[in-house]
Amino acid sequence: MVTHTFEVEEKSVPAMLIAGVRMKGHYSDCGKGFALIGRRLGRHLCGKPFNLYYDACAREGDADLEACVPMKRQAEAEGISVRELPGERCVTLLHEGPYETLGVSYEKVRAYIDAKRYTAKVPSREVYHKGPGMIFRGNPKKYLTEIQIPIA
């Protein structure tokens, strides 16, 4: 089995047009938001789905989150916010493995931010490069999730 070791990096994330569904609840509820966006705006979407997290700390059960997907062009749909998400300078880390182990990667990102004396901003982002499909769950050990925390 090949296991990759990814490093914490700083990068500029460009502005993008997004479709988003904001909600309060469990982190796993984001799938409902992605499904709604896909049903109502599917032909206008491009890029990897991601979540925006509006809480500075983890809050399972009453998390303030937004399921988002980049869009090719402006469109409207009931219950979905379509807008430009501003570009940000972020500290990032690519996490390989199940979502349940993301906490370890978040600790690495926070340690880097503290060491550099940056200020973390919200919302933070999780970009899902490889995860469960709509039909097949896939192998959680191979999921790839990019953590992006904007900095000041």
According to DSSP, residue 40 is labeled H
User: pLDDT tens digit string along 113-131?
Assistant: 999 999 999 999 999 999 8
pLDDT band at 4 (very low <50, low <70, confident <90, very high): low
User: Domains of the chain: which residue ranges?
Assistant: 9-150
pLDDT over 90, % of the chain = 85
Phi/psi of residue 85, each to 5°? -90, 120
**pLDDT at site 134:** 62
User: pLDDT tens digit string along 21-50?
Assistant: 999 999 989 999 999 999 999 999 999 999
Cα of first residue to Cα of last residue in the chain, in angstroms, is 38
CATH numeric code, 9-150: 3.20.80.10
Q: 118: Cβ–Cβ under 8 A, 6 or more apart, which residues?
A: 91, 151, 152
Phi/psi of residue 111, each to 5°? -60, -40
